[in-house]
């Protein structure tokens, strides 16, 4: 794999010393499979030889630990910083690794955003080409903090084809634009279901919503992913489908999506000269 270069983030922010590119994965609403997309996208990037991490920014509903099969507590060698946990070749951090699984995070916005910045800045990330950040759904405090304090190279919007999902996805897209974060493209999830018995293809959530939205706003449609039972089963089991079944057609779809994402990211300006991003 060619050397990954750091791309310029929004505003006057500079890339983190140990993270070349932060990629935010967001959605306008919940239930569209955003976390599943984020985790499998990270695995697809890693499959191409990149060093990849995942940051679970959904403080109230963290799901990355379960999806990656992670348990226990991360180490803190100095009592201040945290070692990322590792699974399937990824570095990972989540509030879900620091509290009991059944403990609700009953926090106001400022506490949640403070937790996010701490998770990002106090984790001892090791020479990452890409850090995929799984955002909570919506357009609230976490997203605003991302724009103000976290150097984001680009964002990905996840939607399903149905109109009610693309309606909210439009809001997420416009939010990123207003915050100065480049939208690298859309991912249409659960686009089609193919019956495992008869092979009949059915567009359960409608058809073409992602394509129409991409055309309307002039952003790439990075890929359309199927509604596949294996994706759900492998995610629940802690071994996402790209890691569990790398030779399956659906894993190939994710790798193709990742390749299109990298191609869009490479169109972005490089990080300003003078920033030490050698990492290796």
Write out the DSSP string of 110-124: HHHHHHHHHHHHHB-
Instruction: Map residue 148 onto helix, strand or coil.
Output: helix
- Does residue 53 carry a pLDDT above 80? yes
Distances (CA, A) of 259 to 50, 116, 252, 264: 12, 28, 11, 9
Residue 97 lies in a domain: yes
Strands (E), 88-171: 90-94, 128-134, 154-159
pLDDT confidence of 262, banded at 50, 70, 90? very high
- Does residue 172 carry a pLDDT above 80? yes
What pLDDT, in 10s, does the model give residues 93-125?
A: 998 898 877 666 676 767 878 888 889 999 999
For 6-24, what is the mean pLDDT?
95
- Does residue 187 carry a pLDDT above 60? yes
Structural domain boundaries, residue 178: 19-265
Tokens for 30, please give them.
Answer: 């919940």
Residue 134 lies in a domain: yes
- Does residue 82 carry a pLDDT above 50? yes
Tokens for 115, please give them.
Answer: 């937790």
Residue 8 lies in a domain: no
Is residue 146 within 8 A of residue 24, CB to CB? The reply is: yes
* CATH number of the domain enclosing 67: 3.40.50.300
What pLDDT, in 10s, does the model give residues 229-258?
A: 778 888 889 999 999 999 988 899 999 999
Q: How many domains does the chain have?
A: 1
pLDDT value at residue 280? 44
C-alpha 12: how far from its chain's center?
23
How far apart CA 98 and CA 108 sit, in angstroms, is 18
Tokens for 254, please give them.
Answer: 């994710």
pLDDT value at residue 58? 85
What pTM does this model have?
Answer: 0.91
Residue 7 lies in a domain: no
Residue where the block lists tokens 């695995």: 43
Residue 142 lies in a domain: yes
How far apart CA 60 and CA 103 sit, in angstroms, is 10
Residue 104 lies in a domain: yes
Q: What percent of the chain has pLDDT over 70?
A: 89
Rg (CA), the chain: 18
pLDDT confidence of 75, banded at 50, 70, 90? very high
First to last CA, the chain: 15
How far apart CA 182 and CA 258 sit, in angstroms, is 17
- Which among 120, 60, 61, 62 is positioned nearest to 91, based on CA atoms? 120
Residue 1 lies in a domain: no
Q: What percent of the chain has pLDDT over 90?
A: 50
């Amino acid at each position: 794999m060619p050397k990954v270069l750091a791309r310029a983030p929004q505003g006057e922010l500079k890339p983190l010393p140990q993270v070349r590119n932060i990629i935010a994965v967001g959605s306008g609403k919940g239930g569209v499979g955003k976390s599943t997309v984020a985790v499998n996208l990270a695995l697809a990037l890693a499959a191409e030889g990149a060093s990849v991490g995942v940051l679970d920014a959904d403080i109230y509903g963290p799901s990355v630990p379960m999806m990656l099969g992670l348990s226990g507590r991360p180490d803190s060698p100095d009592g201040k910083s945290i070692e990322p946990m590792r699974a399937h070749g990824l570095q990972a951090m989540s509030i879900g690794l620091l509290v009991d699984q059944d403990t609700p995070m009953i926090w106001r916005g400022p506490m949640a955003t403070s937790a996010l910045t701490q998770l990002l800045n106090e984790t001892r990330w090791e020479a990452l080409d890409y850090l995929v950040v799984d955002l909570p759904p919506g357009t609230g405090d976490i997203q605003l903090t991302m724009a103000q304090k976290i150097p984001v190279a680009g964002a990905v919007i996840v939607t399903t084809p149905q109109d009610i999902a693309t309606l909210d996805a439009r809001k997420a897209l416009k939010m990123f634009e207003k915050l100065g974060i480049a939208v690298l493209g859309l991912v249409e999830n659960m686009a089609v279901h193919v019956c495992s018995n008869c092979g009949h293809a059915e567009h359960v959530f409608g058809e073409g919503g992602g394509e129409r939205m991409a055309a309307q706003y002039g952003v790439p449609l990075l890929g359309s992913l199927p509604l596949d039972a294996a994706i759900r089963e492998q995610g629940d089991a802690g071994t996402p489908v790209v890691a569990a079944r790398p030779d399956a057609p659906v894993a190939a779809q994710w790798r193709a999506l990742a390749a299109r994402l990298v191609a869009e990211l490479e169109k972005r300006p490089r990080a300003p000269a003078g920033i030490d991003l050698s990492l290796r």
